[in-house]
Amino acid sequence: MTALRRRMLEDLQLRGVAPKPHPCDRAAVHPWAPHDRRPPDQLREAERRQDVRCLRTDTQVAERTCRIHR
Q: What is the pLDDT of residues 3-23, one digit of tens each?
A: 877 887 788 788 787 666 566
**What does pTM read for this prediction?**
0.39
- Residues with Cβ within 8 Å of residue 59, at least 6 apart in sequence: 31
Check pLDDT > 70 for residue 26: no
Q: How confident is the model at residue 24 (pLDDT cuts 50, 70, 90)?
A: low
- Whole-angstrom CA distances from 34 to 10, 13, 30 are 23, 26, 7
Domain count, the chain: 1
> Pick the residue with more confidence: 20 or 47?
47
Look up the domain containing 50 and give its range: 3-68
Minimal CA–CA distance to 54: which of 38, 35, 29, 33? 35
Question: Would you state the pLDDT for residue 28?
Answer: 66
Q: Are 50 and 36 in contact (CB under 8 A)?
A: no
